[in-house]
Structures are given as structure tokens and as C-alpha cells.
Amino acid sequence: MNDCLFCKIIAGEIPSRKVYEDEFVYAFCDINPIAPIHYLFIPKQHISGASEITPENAEIVGKIFTAIAKVAADENLGSGFRVVTNCGEDAGQTVGHLHFHLLAGTAMGWTVQAGV
Ligand code: AMP
Ligand code: ZN
């Protein structure tokens, strides 16, 4: 866990551009945005990904989505936004700390294409 990039961001050991924070959730700008608005929402507790959500820790997912709805309202994303979590190799997960991408600011397509 000490080597976790997002745990280091939460601890302030690695800088980030914060967009939201509460007791349980932290959100910040993705360093390599794929949409005009691209934020990452993460739990402050280390969970390695969506496959590790259990009855014991699932409450955090509701807290994250509550934070997403608040940011979407605050930033007037009424024309639409997308929330994505990549889990595991095939999905392209690169950071082993649960995170939800909030994408917005443009009309988006919907395809799944290997390697793209
Ligand atoms: P994923 O590929 O779904 O695991 O998403 C990881 C995301 O973390 C990618 O979109 C990266 O651009 C982003 N990322 C990696 N390092 C940083 C960082 N230091 N600050 C902000 N975002 C980062
Ligand atoms: Zn972590």
C-alpha cells in the first residue's frame, strides 16, 4: 500500500489538482485527460479496484457517487457526463487503487475496441 500512487496523492506526497474532498473521498484532475473535463474520484481507504468491493466496504461507492453528483451539479454538467472504472488488465487499469473517471465537456461515442 505504501507504494500506491493514489495513496501518496491522498497523503499529499505527490501533488494533484484537487476538485473535491471530504472525510472519505478525494477527487482530482487526471494528469492525462481524455475529455475536456476528466476527474478521478477515489476512496481515501485503499481498495485495489472494483473487484475488491465487498459488503464490508461497499458503502464507499455510494459516497463516491454522491461526491460525483455534487461536483456535476456544481460544475453545471447537466448536458451529460460519464463515470467509468477500469478493473484489471483487459480493461486497462493502470493504478491499483479504486478510482472512478468522471468524463464530461463533449458528446461521447460508445465503443469498445481492443487496444484503443
Ligand atoms: P486507469 O488507467 O483506469 O487505471 O486510470 C488511471 C488514471 O490515472 C489515468 O487516466 C492516468 O492518466 C491517471 N494518472 C496517473 N498518474 C496520475 C497523477 N500523478 N495525477 C493525476 N492522474 C494520474
Ligand atoms: Zn492506494
Fold category of 5-104 in CATH = HIT family, subunit A (3.30.428)
Answer yes or no: 97 catalytic: no
Q: Please report the atom of ligand 1 found closest to the CA of residue 34.
A: 10
65: cell is: 457517487
Contacts of residue 95, Cβ cutoff 8 Å, sequence gap at least 6:
4, 5, 6
Task: Classify residue 77 by its DSSP letter.
Answer: -
With a pLDDT cut of 70, the percent of the chain lying above it is 97
Q: Please report the atom of ligand 1 found closest to the CA of residue 96.
A: 4
> Does 4 score more than 60 pLDDT?
yes
Pocket of ligand 1 (CB under 6 A): 5, 14, 16, 30-32, 40, 86, 92-95, 99
**What's the angle, vertex CA 23, arms to CA 35 and CA 62, rounded to 5?**
60
Q: Closest-lying ligand to the alpha carbon of 8? A: 2
Classify residue 4 by burial, with Cβ atoms within 10 Å: 0-12, 13-18, 19+. Answer: middle
pLDDT tens readout for residues 33-77? 999 999 999 999 999 999 999 999 999 999 999 999 999 999 999
The predicted pLDDT at position 107 comes to 96
The predicted pLDDT at position 113 comes to 83
Q: Whose CA is nearest to atom 1 of ligand 1?
A: 93
> Does 24 score more than 80 pLDDT?
yes
What does the alpha-carbon distance between residue 60 and residue 54 come to, in Å, rounded to a whole number?
Answer: 10
Rounded to the nearest whole angstrom, what is the distance from the C-alpha of residue 99 to the centroid of ligand 1?
9
The predicted pLDDT at position 116 comes to 62
Catalytic residue among 38, 46, 97, 99: 99
What does the alpha-carbon distance between residue 83 and residue 33 come to, in Å, rounded to a whole number?
Answer: 14
